[in-house]
Amino acid sequence: MTTRPQSYDEMIRPDGSVTTPYKHYQTWFNAQDPARLHSKSQEAEAFFRRTGITFNVYGEADAQERLIPFDLVPRILSHREWSRLSKGIEQRVRAINAFIWDIYNRQEILRAGRIPKELIAHNDAFLPQMMRFTPPGNVYTHIVGTDIVRTGDGDFFVLEDNARTPSGVSYMLENRETMLQMFPELFARIRVQPVSDYPKNLRRSLAACAPQACEGKPRVAVLTPGIHNSAYFEHSFLADQMGAELVEGHDLRVVDGRIAMRTTQGYRVVDVLYRRIDDDFLDPLNFNPDSLLGVPGIMDVYRAGGITIANAPGAGIADDKAIYSYMPDIVEFYTGEKAILKNVETHRCAEPEALKYVLDNLAELVVKEVHGSGGYGMLVGPAASKKELAAFRDKLQANPGNYIAQPTLSLSTVPIFVDQGLAPRHVDLRPFVLVSPQGVNITPGGLTRVALTEGSLVVNSSQGGGTKDTWVLED
């Protein structure tokens, strides 16, 4: 698939002039020796490899660890652009938290007919164990990653909401650290808002959600599935940066109605558990009985007020892609305001008319699994072969409720550094949001993912995408 001519480039206007946020960067870039930049690009790769910033690709026979390619041209947003984006993100995150509370308590939005009841009742992400229980501080989504795409100067769309265990923040932090080391003169010339306080803010935000049983300073731990998980680097990185313990399920047990972790001095109580495992594996006594990753009985301790789990079990009901299509209604229902950030038009294949439209226009649409993530299980119609289209048509007809479809957006482009200089590539953005009783904290920037293949719209690292440092300029 080739890049569509109408794609909006965030750095270069159609007449060849440079957009305002990039003017100082372009002046600096034009003065650089290309050989130095190529050397710096190789230096960044060596740094990432030395630091261990890798991920695994599931399903590959050799399960080899890979580096996520890093591009040294930053993605730059003006203060004005970020201000509008962050207001829309905060509005959306507050609405999501209110929606999850309502679904597990009064269900007013269902009684009002704004969302079909069957969309909740038949949803794998809905956990009956969370009914009539409110987490400490009334926070369900402690950490949210909101995926945003851009199609024009002021046209931002939310592509999806990640309210379960959003990943990628370690790459945001390491990308910035790498740029600071390689080009300190750039940051002296251009005033960029910092992102380095994210781990400190994360710990503070989690501690503010400590359970009622907590005594003294809250003890925070990060629960990881272990070294074979694709995001293990991030789990260990965040635990280290926060000054928190990194634990696996077998390190934890129920002691006197609390969750305690094994240490060289015996078992010590954990107050807040930042879990990076899915709901189904969290507690073999309440969910998947075969799970070896979780902690038997942790849900009972949680419901009794003995621990905070972040994000809350059952929060995934909000990032279901069928629920996503109702987000404008959800935002309006809980805030009384129109959504600041728009949704992408979404066809729910469970509905017969929508399914017919999708089947008739499959070659022009992007089709996703309702519970899919990481770019797996999706179809990009314009890039698919006839064989792939036919196979996906069969999947849709066999299980239409498992899919939604969206138009193929002309995502904005940002230049990447290639042998010939600069070349446009499509990007998305995942800002990271922290929620606590003290408020909503949005790190200025986020993780920009870039489709390194010319014309490709798939930015996921698991599908060959790379990353960029994301700059939000000071006012």
Element (H, E) at 241: helix 232-242
- Contact criterion met (CB below 8 Å) for 96 and 144: yes
Rg (CA), the chain: 22
CA distance 169 to 175: 10
Task: Read off the pLDDT of residues 191-247 as tens digits, 9 standing for 90 and up.
Answer: 999 999 999 999 999 999 999 999 999 999 999 999 988 889 999 999 999 999 999
Task: Read off the pLDDT of residues 18-34 as tens digits, 9 standing for 90 and up.
Answer: 999 999 999 999 999 99
Q: Does 360 reside within a domain?
A: yes
Q: Which domain holds residue 401?
A: 345-407
- Predicted model pTM: 0.93
Residue where the block lists tokens 């599908």: 463
- Contact criterion met (CB below 8 Å) for 224 and 236: yes
Provide mean pLDDT across the span 420-425. Answer: 92
Q: Does 432 reside within a domain?
A: no
HEC sequence for 354-373: HHHHHHHCHHHEEEEECCCC
Q: Does 227 reside within a domain?
A: no
One DSSP character per residue, 141-200 reads -SEEEEEEEE-SSS-EEEEEEE-SS---HHHHHHHHHHHHHH-HHHHHHS-B---TTHHH
Would you say residue 361 has pLDDT above 80? Answer: yes
Provide mean pLDDT across the span 323-341. Answer: 96
Label residue 133 by pLDDT band (50, 70, 90).
very high
Total domain count, the chain: 1
Task: Read off the pLDDT of residues 34-92 as tens digits, 9 standing for 90 and up.
Answer: 999 999 999 998 888 887 776 555 444 444 566 788 999 999 999 999 999 999 999 99
Angle at 193 between CA 189 and CA 194, to 5 degrees: 105
Q: Does 178 reside within a domain?
A: no
Q: CB atoms < 10 A from the CB of 413, how many?
A: 22
Would you say residue 382 has pLDDT above 80? Answer: yes
Q: Does 393 reside within a domain?
A: yes
Task: Read off the pLDDT of residues 438-474 as tens digits, 9 standing for 90 and up.
Answer: 999 999 999 999 999 888 887 877 667 899 999 999 9
Q: Does 221 reside within a domain?
A: no
Task: Report the pLDDT value the prediction gives residue 3, as an integer from 0 to 100.
Answer: 39
Q: Does 289 reside within a domain?
A: no
- Contact criterion met (CB below 8 Å) for 261 and 267: yes
192 strand-pairing partners: 473
Label residue 420 by pLDDT band (50, 70, 90).
confident
Q: Does 398 reside within a domain?
A: yes
Q: What is the CATH number of the domain that holds 370?
A: 3.30.1490.270
Q: Which two tokens stand for residue 104?
A: 């597990």
